[in-house]
Amino acid sequence: MTDLLGGVKGPTGEPVFRAVLPRQEAYPGGNVERAPDLLLVPADESVLPVTSLTGTLWTPSAQTGLHRHEGIWAQRSPRVRPGRLPGTIPLADAMPTLLTDLGAAWPSDVDGRPRTEVFTEDVPVPGPHRRLVLPDAVASAPGPADPTEGPGEDDYTSSRLREMGYL
């Protein structure tokens, strides 16, 4: 299936997907079995796949903002060395690195590791903790308003998420 999807060509004859990744590579972590079997990384990230099996193929996306497979991570701190690191860093490493800079721990079920090479000095790594307890004020805070209260922002958000294939 990976080879078949990797060979799909668009109307210009170019490959549709830059990569076809098995879930173990695309979604590392303890819940990998809950992930889709494959992650399809589009060659042109401005094209959004549609979830409908009927309708026109290869049309511009109604979505105005897109998720990108790659991004930029910038961190400013007196302990972070200026400049750019060679290569790429997994997004999952951002939170453990930021929290290490602050001297704080993170939950043990968080994927990623602190990137200590960004620091100008040896920084102690607090490491993950099995259980971080939320303060009572946070744990007992009311959740979002009931979405059945009436039309408005929630309807708009739902329609946009439906266009993107999330709902």
118 — pLDDT class (breaks 50, 70, 90) = very high
For 73-95, the pLDDT digits (tens) are: 888 899 999 988 888 888 889 99
Residue with tokens 């704080």: 104
- What per-residue confidence (pLDDT) applies to 123? 86
Closest CA to 58 of 44, 39, 70, 68: 44
Domain boundaries, the chain: 1-49, 91-139
- What per-residue confidence (pLDDT) applies to 139? 47
- What per-residue confidence (pLDDT) applies to 115? 92
Closest CA to 50 of 157, 166, 164, 158: 164
One-letter amino acid of 88: T
- Cα-Cα-Cα-Cα torsion 113, 116, 118, 121, nearest 10 degrees, comes to 160
- What is the rounded distance in angstroms from the CA atom of residue 105 to the CA atom of residue 96? 8
Mean per-residue pLDDT for 41-60?
72
Residues in the chain: 167
**DSSP codes joined into one string, 94-131:** HHHHHHHHHT--EETT------GGGBSS------EES-
**Greater model confidence, 20 or 26:** 20
Which residues, at least 6 apart from 50, have a Cβ–Cβ distance to it below 8 Å?
57, 59, 165
For 22-46, the pLDDT digits (tens) are: 999 888 777 888 889 998 888 887 7
Average pLDDT, the chain: 79
